[in-house]
Amino acid sequence: MAFQDYSLIQAPMAGGLSTAEGAGRAGALGSVGAGYLSGDAIMAAADGVRAAGGDAFAINLFVPAERDATDAEWRAALKALAPCYRQAGVPAPDHFSPLPDFREQFEAMLEARPAVFSWTFGRLPRSMMAACRARGITLVGTATHRDEALALAGDGVDGIVLQGEEAGGHRGGVDPQGEGLPLAELLSACRDIGTPLIAAGGLMDGADVARVMAAGAATGQLGTAFLRCPEAGTADGWRQALADAGPDATAVTRAVSGRWARGIANAWMDGRAPTEVAPYPDQHRLTSPLRKAAGVEWKSLWAGTGAHRGRALPVEELVRVIEEERRAAGR
Ligand SMILES: Cc1cc2nc3c(=O)[nH]c(=O)nc-3n(C[C@H](O)[C@H](O)[C@H](O)COP(=O)(O)O)c2cc1C
């Protein structure tokens, strides 16, 4: 598959948010955000997309962190979170669930054999890249800086998601503390690399996609634009926050997971957020029960800077509208 065949990619969004079926039926490349799924759940999700007529799709996983939190980091982060649990009226648990095993997820992805495997938060070991290649799976890594894009190109990936700082959700670069760059700057720094570039971050309509294509991208990857689709698993409070969002509604935080992420500003982005934060993904485990049980102020309401331009349309209709806008903009 060539990325030039797709004028649009529906971004992977872990947590039951992706809408790969509808995107695929409408001719875009849909993505299954499988970062929080077990191996069995990944197989079931792939079967579900295929049964619904989305033949070509991507599966996306998180490359594991290089190290766990130390005992001291874990204790300090837990102590700093105690007032947050209290304020939210959620009892602090004494057990925090582990995240799914990456090796098991990867094996399930191989078996599911998607058209594309995309990953974020790191580089993929060569043996894993070879296993994908042997099955004809196209490889896509994520970069937030030119040096990361060059490293991925050197690894031999087929496409690079260039994620600008406007993007909703986690910054997908290799360095968990890495600064973001505006998408336009990132594209202009990387357009000579030679590997097809997939632009992401703040793109909400077809004119945005046409603009990044004119700046050297093969295609655009949109996440926030799909969060208000009725098919997306976006919870009601989050949906409402997106509908109410103004142009400055989003901010970044690393207090939710230990990695920088952008969402609708709430308690995680102001003085109520903990200042001692465990490294990713342990902070994610520590805050998970709070985010699940609390009200909207303590949920992670991931969204990009374009949140205020979102449209509450069914996925297939949204894809068609974006494609028309792109063509009208000359691409
Ligand atoms: C709710 C949400 C969840 C996300 N989850 C993932 C994920 O699981 N894997 C990934 O590579 N990127 C993830 N992202 C980032 C997107 O792939 C993409 O880079 C981003 O949505 C682009 O910016 P936009 O939201 O402004 O369109 C997520 C983004 C959002 C908004």
Q: From the CA of 18, how far away is ligand 1's center (Å)?
A: 9
Distance CA 167, CA 315 (A): 20
C-alpha 68 to ligand 1 mean position (Å): 24
In short, whether 222's Cβ falls inside 6 Å of ligand 1 is yes
**Mean pLDDT value across residues 101-120:** 98
Q: What is the pLDDT of residue 1?
A: 59
At 117-131, the pLDDT tens digits run 999 999 999 999 999
Its domain, for residue 116, covers 3-328
Q: How far is the CA of 17 from the centre of ligand 1 (A)?
A: 10
**CATH number of the structural domain spanning residue 260:** 3.20.20.70
Distance CA 39, CA 47 (A): 13
Ligand 1 pocket check for 169: Cβ under 6 Å: yes
- Confidence (pLDDT) at 53: 85
Atom of ligand 1 nearest to the CA of 234: 1
Please tell me the distance between residue 152's alpha carbon and the centre of ligand 1 in angstroms: 19
Residue 101 has pLDDT above 80, yes or no: yes
CA of residue 76 to ligand 1 center, whole Å: 29
Residue/partner pairs of 90-94 with CB below 8 Å, 24 or more apart: 90/289, 90/290, 90/293, 90/294, 90/298, 92/289, 93/289
Atom 6 of ligand 1 has which residue's CA nearest to it? 13
Q: How far is the CA of 200 from the centre of ligand 1 (A)?
A: 8
Q: Is 60 in the pocket of ligand 1 (CB under 6 A)?
A: yes
Which mutation among 10, 31, 148, 170 tests ligand 1's pocket best, with the greatest number of atoms within 8 A of CB?
170
What confidence score (pLDDT) does residue 54 get?
80
Q: Residue 119: how many CB atoms within 10 A of its CB? A: 26
Pocket perturbation via mutation, ligand 1, pick of 10, 13, 59 by most ligand atoms within 8 A of CB = 13
3-class DSSP string for 290-314: HHHHCCHHHCCCECCCCHHHCCCCC
**CA of 150 relative to ligand 1 center, distance in Å:** 21
Express each pLDDT in 171-193 by its tens digit.
999 888 888 999 999 999 999 99
Average pLDDT across the chain, whole number: 96
Q: What is the pLDDT of residues 54-94, one digit of tens each?
A: 888 999 999 998 899 999 999 999 999 999 999 999 999 98
- What is the total count of domains within the chain? 1
Confidence of residue 18 (pLDDT cuts 50, 70, 90): confident
**Residue pLDDT, tens place only, 255-311:** 999 999 999 999 999 999 999 999 999 999 999 999 999 999 999 999 999 999 999
* Residue 59 CB–ligand 1 contact under 6 Å: no
Q: What percent of the residues of the chain are helix, what percent strand, and what percent coil, each to the nearest 5? A: 40, 15, 45
